[in-house]
Amino acid sequence: NAGVTQTPKFQVLKTGQSMTLQCAQDMNHEYMSWYRQDPGMGLRLIHYSVGAGITDQGEVPNGYNVSRSTTEDFPLRLLSAAPSQTSVYFCASSPLGGNDNEQFFGPGTRLTVL
Amino acid sequence: DAKTTQPTSMDCAEGRAANLPCNHSTISGNEYVYWYRQIHSQGPQYIIHGLKNNETNEMASLIITEDRKSSTLILPHATLRDTAVYYCIVRGRGDYKLSFGAGTTVTVRA
């Protein structure tokens, strides 16, 4: 299993540009989520999904869109990038149900908005 | 509101046990204590979790006080590769959202 994969690893955007951060997992996990991490801080939840066709907002959703058309993929879209969105973005996944809901994180995408 | 309180940083000697405290005085009966760590900007890595009993796995041990208001993560023989930020997270059953605080920066020194 590749686990959770994220592309690209690094990205530089200009203010106002749009882009999509890709996240995929091959563990058949129902739950997927996106976090951002600013320097020296903990991770903050942007959006999450409990299955294909179902998404919901987290703590800091403004400026980001998500969709979940398949179990495997959970892309994060920035429609009009702003310097405040400069951050490291992590995708995570886990199965639903039970007590052992370990979440698996991807390696991150480092985004700079100029 | 922060659900957990952790020290900002701590040092540990290589080969010794590292004891990481966490206070979660407002924890409710159906909430679990989870520990994750993040090594130098990598994605967070799950370590261990527990409800009220002490837990042990190949990475660490988790000691939860009887009143469940605090816990301690124990790395039995710290190595340089254990240098990381360690996050203590309280999470209810069926709630998959993780709330990360600032964590404890653990530096293992040779």
| pLDDT tens digits in sequence order for chain B, 110 residues long | 458 999 999 999 999 999 999 999 999 988 999 999 999 889 999 999 999 989 999 999 999 999 999 999 999 999 999 999 999 999 887 788 888 989 999 999 99
Return the residue of A nearest to B2 by Cα: A42
Give B-chain residues touching A88 at CB under 8 angstroms: 41
- Strand partners for A19: A78
Cβ pair B1, B11 in contact under 8 A: no
Contacts 24+ apart (CB under 8 A), A50-57: A50/A96, A50/B96, A51/A96
Q: Is A52 on the interface with B (CB under 8 A)?
A: no
> How many CB atoms are closer than 10 A to CB B39?
13
